[in-house]
Amino acid sequence: MKFFIDTADLAEIREAHSMGILDGVTTNPSLCAKIGVKDFEGHIAKICEIVDGDVSAEVVSTDYAGMMAEGRRLAAIAPNVVVKVPLIKEGIKAIKTFTEEGIKTNCTLCFSSPQALIAAKAGATYISPFIGRLDDISTDGMRLIAEIVEIYGNYGFATEVLAASIRHPLHVVEAAKLGADVATMPLSVIEALLKHPLTDIGLDKFLKDWAKLQAGG
Ligand code: E4P
């Protein structure tokens, strides 16, 4: 499973990258607004200097021509830019053309398996089902991951399932068990994945015993 960090914050991206387990980055307009990004294209360029893997940058146009113009500009920033496109009719048309032009796409805001089927037929590189936002409205987000993995498997679609809107480590574990290709998550979830209280207790005891041994006691 590939790990992407879901943030536009350069310090967080550097921190996750320093762990050596980061495969890419996803951003969205809300994440950019959160840290007050003014020069969006310049900011994406900075992220691409840190990370070799795929970096999703989202278009904000909602019409085909606007999405194409924005997406082509974004894709020209660096070879690892993935154009993130909302799952609406104009977006599907844009994904089809981006794919024909060899531009990678991340089809975002997916909340149902028929939507995911359409995105795969258009040739999206990634489909982003939003697990957490479904859970938030008492709908099983993980069931959507299972359905998409099954459907894509049935037909051999190359579109990768990118589990998004992840809130906690169990989302990652469950998505991994179902065979999602990628999980994108905040730095807090990446860090939570490696924590276990017994590890901390065990290390503390090892170090105390070692110190006692050195003191001759
Ligand atoms: C990533 O591509 C998505 O934009 C993101 O995971 C959405 O997460 P949220 O539901 O926590 O805003």
- Please tell me the pTM assigned to this model: 0.96
- What distance in angstroms lies between residue 24's CA and the mean position of ligand 1's atoms? 14
Longest dimension (CA), the chain: 76
| Euclidean distance between CA atoms 72 and 148, whole angstroms | 28
**Catalytic annotation, pick one of 2, 38, 84, 177:** 84
Domains and their CATH numbers in the chain: 2-216 (3.20.20.70)
Q: Which of 162, 129, 144 is nearest to 55 (CA)?
A: 162
Residue given tokens 């990628």 in the structure block = 182
DSSP secondary structure letters along 101-140: TT--EEEEEE-SHHHHHHHHHHT-SEEEEBHHHHHHTTS-
Give tens-digit pLDDT for 118-129.
Answer: 999 999 999 999
Nearest-CA residue for ligand 1 atom 1 is 164
Q: Could you report the per-residue pLDDT of 2-54, keeping only the tens digit for each? A: 999 999 999 999 999 999 999 999 999 999 999 999 999 999 999 999 999 99
Residues 172-192: tens digit of each pLDDT = 999 999 999 999 999 999 999
β-sheet bridge partners, residue 55: 25, 81
Residue nearest to atom 11 of ligand 1 (CA): 165
Give the pLDDT confidence score for residue 90 in this predicted structure: 98
